[in-house]
Amino acid sequence: MDTKNKELAGQFKNPGTSWRRQPIHVNDHDFRSDAYGIAVPYGVYDLLANRGTVFVGTSHDTPEFAVDSIATWWRHEGQRRYGRVRQLAILADAGGSNAPTCRAWKCLLQRQLCERHGLVITVAHYPSGASKWNPIEHRLFSQISRNWAGHPLDSYDTILNYLRTTRTTTGLHLRAHLVRQHYPKGTTIPDTAMRDLPINNDPLLPRWNYVIRPT
């Protein structure tokens, strides 16, 4: 070993140098029995303001949780930011709690946003396999992934801290909230409720796009 390599090796052994790296030991698999809890993120990205909000649930990814997250964002941010706006456009993926085939998702949007706030909601779903084109993926969640890459998410505080400290050179700012409310799975919506729902499917892409209105 030459002199230069000896000096470099000595720096790795010296805990006071910047070369030292302390590995963090983690399990190579996740087991629910070893976890303190689960974290279910639901994000809202405001495309015009370049602002993101992530709600971290602690129970299940359900339509109720998704719509509650959007409604909470609207009350505390969207309404303040856009004042008297009466129309809201939502770009959503095609699966999970906000799938285009999910009855509860549509009914709860109508109840909590259309009826309560007088909003006309236009929803456009990205088809399966195309969600990467959704701005929330490459402008919000990709930046979050970069911020916490290589760091074990070992507590809710850790998750919230990395979410809240996510920044970009283009000015992205992010808020994060822990939601401890329990959201049970298995909510069913009867046929009669769907027939009464004031919804209009888009004539061009009726499977993916629709407009929901107040009654």
Largest CA distance in the chain: 82
CA dist 117 and 75 (Å) reads: 9
The phi-psi region of residue 125 (left if phi > 0; otherwise alpha if psi is between -120 and 50; otherwise beta) is: beta
pTM of the model: 0.87
CA dist 24 and 12 (Å) reads: 16
Residue numbers of the chain with a pLDDT score lower than 50: 1-19
Q: Classify each residue of 46-83 as buried b or exposed e, where b means 16 or more C-beta atoms within 10 Å of its C-beta.
A: beeebbbbbbbbbbebbbbbbbbbbbbbbeebbeeeee
Task: Give the residue extent of every domain in the chain.
Answer: 37-212
Report the pLDDT value the prediction gives residue 3, as an integer from 0 to 100.
42
24-81 pLDDT tens trace: 888 888 788 888 899 999 999 999 999 999 999 999 999 999 999 999 999 999 999 9
Report the pLDDT value the prediction gives residue 27, as an integer from 0 to 100.
82
Report the pLDDT value the prediction gives residue 44, as an integer from 0 to 100.
98
- Cβ atoms of 49 and 81 within 8 Å: the answer is yes
Report the pLDDT value the prediction gives residue 19, as an integer from 0 to 100.
47
Other Cβ atoms less than 10 A from the Cβ of 213: the count is 17
- Cβ atoms of 120 and 213 within 8 Å: the answer is yes
